Amino acid sequence: SRRLTAPDLARRKAEGRRIVALTAASAQMAGIVDPHCDVVLVGDSLGMVAHGLDSTLPVTLEMMILHGQAVVRGTAHALVVVDMPFGSYEASREQAFASAARVLKETGAGAVKLEGGAHLAETVAFLTRRGIPVMGHVGLTPQAINTMGGFRVQGKAPDAGRLLLEDARAISEAGACAIVLEGIVEPVARAIAQAPEVTAPTIGIGASPSCDGQILVLEDMLGLSDRTPKFVKRFGALRGQVEAAVRAYAEDVQAGRFPEEAQTYGGS
């Protein structure tokens, strides 16, 4: 079957089928998640997860393109969405188009994602009308860590709910193919997901079960990450399994138990 496209996400919502999304950064992992996902996101969280950075701010367009290429090569079914990194799209709609066009041309991904609310609606519309599907990202936007004062759940302050709904509505009306809602208290997230004026499908992460789909960072849900936020459910415990395998390997090498005849050329 053909690969999903950005407009397929609206069809999923219309049919009432929940959207399944995960991140991936390598071809091998992308290939494992691909048959089960509608969306594989090359998230800029890879800067922290794969590159050991303290935040997503130092991630470059070149890094996103390199990982985007790997993930597109590793997938055949899911829509691949690539995050626009901090500094590559905020200055103007023209800057955003130039950066996003590079991403689509050099990776073959089907959409880009950018963080921000009403102030970025004009950019979302500019890109969409010029052939670049855009996924929005509203609420806790990690690229704004310095202005938010840390990773803080959104929607608690008085009037915050109204402003977040306004952000989601603006991005939806600008033509976003979907909107990630991240780190938003449940009543506000539910109000946004159920608002008739937010027609774009909503994909939640720490933002209530009311969304039209869910996304998690792959390493978090696999149980590979050492610390995870409250909204993560660990569907696996890979960190312990990786540690046990590496420990067993080290012991076998030290003891001279590996390799054995079965792993030796010219053995039997």
Tell me the binding residues. Answer: 44-45, 83, 113, 115
- Please pick, from the candidates 80, 217, 221, 222, the single residue that binds ligand KIV as defined by CB under 6 A: 217
Of 3-11, 40-48, 119-127, 229-237, which segment contacts ligand KIV by CB under 6 A?
A: 40-48
User: Any contact of residue 38 with Na ion (CB under 5 A)?
Assistant: no
Q: Which is nearer to ligand KIV, 48 or 185 (CB)?
A: 48
DSSP class of 44:
T
User: Whole-number minimum distance, CB 141 to Na ion, in Å?
Assistant: 8
Which does residue 48 touch among Na ion, ligand KIV, none (CB within 5 to 8 A, set by kind)?
none
Secondary structure, 3-state, 197-246: CCCCCEEEECCCCCCCEEEECHHHHCCCCCCCCCCCCCCCCHHHHHHHHH
Q: 57 to 86, contacts with ligand KIV by CB under 6 A?
A: 83
Which does residue 215 touch among ligand KIV, Na ion, none (CB within 5 to 8 A, set by kind)?
ligand KIV
Residue 19, phi then psi, degrees to nearest 5:
-85, 125
- Among this protein's residues, is 182 annotated catalytic? yes
CB count within 10 Å of CB 233 equals: 11
User: Any contact of residue 43 with ligand KIV (CB under 6 A)?
Assistant: yes
- Please pick, from the candidates 34, 38, 44, 212, the single residue that binds ligand KIV as defined by CB under 6 A: 44
Measured over the CA atoms of residue 44, residue 181, residue 5 and residue 26, the dihedral's sign is positive
Q: What is residue 106's three-state secondary structure? A: helix
- What type of residue is 237? A
User: Catalytic residue among 182, 197, 219, 251, which?
Assistant: 182
User: Any contact of residue 212 with ligand KIV (CB under 6 A)?
Assistant: no
Dihedral of CA atoms 9, 14, 18, 22 in degrees, nearest 10, equals 10
Query: Using CA atoms, how far apart are residues 200 and 124, in angstroms rounded to an integer?
Result: 13
User: Whole-number minimum distance, CB 115 to ligand KIV, in Å?
Assistant: 8
Q: 154 to 173, contacts with ligand KIV by CB under 6 A?
A: none
Query: Using CA atoms, how far apart are residues 96 and 132, in angstroms rounded to an integer?
Result: 10
CA distances from 46 to 9, 55, 264 (A): 24, 10, 37
Annotated binding site for Mg(2+): 44, 83, 115
User: Whole-number minimum distance, CB 58 to ligand KIV, in Å?
Assistant: 14
Q: For residues 147 and 181, is the Cβ–Cβ distance under 8 A?
A: no
Catalytic residue list: 182
Residues that bind Na ion (CB under 5 A): 43-44, 83
Residues that bind ligand KIV (CB under 6 A): 23, 41, 43-45, 83, 180, 182, 205, 215, 217
